[in-house]
Amino acid sequence: MAGRLGAAGGPGAGPGSKVTRMASKPKQLLTELSHQGPHEVLRGNLALVGLPGIVFTPRSGLGLPAIAFGHGWLQPTGRYRRLLHHLASWGVVAAAPATQRGPLPSHRLLAADLLTTLDVITTVRLGPDGISVDPEKLGLAGHSTGGGAAVLAAGTSAAASVAPASSGSGKAATGSDLDAEPLGRTYPRIGAVATITAAQTFPPATEAAKLITAPGLHLAAAEDLVAPPIGHAEAIANAWAGPVQLRTLGKSSHLGVTEGRHWSQLLLHGKPHRSTQQLTRALFTAFFLTHLTGTDKYLPLLESAVKRAPIDLPDEPAA
C-alpha cells in the first residue's frame, strides 16, 4: 500500500508531506544499509581453531548476533569478503568455512561445517577485547550450493529440535535423507536463513525447507542459467515451513554476488555484478538485524518492493 500511495500521491501529497516521507522510507533504508555500518571490523582465521575459513567481527561487542555463510560451488571464501565485512560493520559476526571446495563436494558435510562454524564462534574468544556471540542470535546464509547447504544445516537443526518426538533411533523422524544426521550432539538454534541464488543439493534442500520455521529470505537472479529460480530458489521458498520471502534480482546472474575474478567463471555462467552485491548486502543486513536482534527499524525495507528486487513471494508461512 505504501508503494501505491507514493506512486499515486493523493490529497496533501507533496515534498514535505507525511505520505511522501512514508513512501520514501524503504529507499532511505536501502541507501543507508548499502553503505558500511558504524563498526570498525576485524578479520580472523578460523584455521586457528581447526576449521579452514574466515571470520569478520566488529572490533568490540558482547552478545552479538552471528551468521555462518556457505560458499558456492568451486568458489573461494574470498569472493564474499566484502559481503561478510559489510555484515560485521553493522554488528553481525560473519564467518565462512573454506571446506568442500572441490568439484565433487558433499553438501551434507558443508552443512555440518556451517553448524560447526556457529559452534566455534559462540564458544571461542573472538578478537583482542573478548568479543562474544549470543547463542540465541544465530543465522545461516549462503550462495549457490552453499545456500542450499545453509538450508540443509537449518533443517538439521530443526530436526534435532523435534528429536524427542522421533522413534528413539537417535535420528530425527523427518522422512528425508536428513535422517542420517546423528543427533548425539547439540545443534545451534537457527533464528534466520538467507540465500542468494540458492541451488538444490543432495539431500534436497527443498525437503529440509519443509522443517524450517525460522524466517527465510531467498534472493534469486533473473538471468541465472546455472540454478534457474523455478527449480531452485523458488522451489526452496515454496517448500518453506515458516515465514519466507522470495525476491528476484533483475539483470543479475548466478555469480552476480561474487567479488573479483576467478577461473570458475570459465565453467559457470555469470560474473560479478555491483548492483547485485549492493542489494544483497543491504537486504541481508536488514534481514539479519531484524530477525536476530529484534529491531523493527528495517521492516519497511523488508516489507517493500525495491528497484530491481521485487517481492515474488510474501513474508508469510507456507500453507
- The domain ranges of the chain are 40-163+175-317
CA-atom Rg of the chain in angstroms: 19
Q: Is the pLDDT of residue 196 over 90?
A: yes
Cα–Cα distance measured from residue 9 to residue 215, given in angstroms and rounded to the nearest whole number:
33
Contact indicator for 136, 166 with CB cutoff of 8 Å: no
Cα–Cα distance measured from residue 231 to residue 216, given in angstroms and rounded to the nearest whole number:
17
Cα–Cα distance measured from residue 241 to residue 190, given in angstroms and rounded to the nearest whole number:
14
Q: Is the pLDDT of residue 215 over 60?
A: yes
Cα–Cα distance measured from residue 221 to residue 147, given in angstroms and rounded to the nearest whole number:
13
Say whether 75 sits in a helix, a strand or coil: coil
Residue 316, phi then psi, degrees to nearest 5: -150, 155
Q: E-strand spans in the chain?
A: 41-45, 53-58, 64-70, 93-97, 133-143, 192-196, 216-221, 243-249, 311-317
In eight-state DSSP terms, residue 238 is H
Q: Provide the pLDDT for residue 184.
A: 60
What is the torsional sign of CA 60, 34, 29, 144?
negative
pLDDT, one tens digit per residue, over 130-156 is 799 999 999 999 999 999 999 999 999
Q: Provide the pLDDT for residue 281.
A: 98
Stronger pLDDT, 24 or 261, i.e. the higher one: 261
Taking residue 97's Cβ as centre, other Cβ atoms within 10 Å add up to 27
- In this prediction, residues 271-289 reach a mean pLDDT of 96
Q: Is the pLDDT of residue 47 over 50?
A: yes
What kind of fold does domain 40-163+175-317 have according to CATH? Rossmann fold (3.40.50)
pLDDT, one tens digit per residue, over 90-132 is 999 999 999 999 899 999 999 999 999 999 999 988 877 779 9
Cα–Cα distance measured from residue 19 to residue 6, given in angstroms and rounded to the nearest whole number:
7
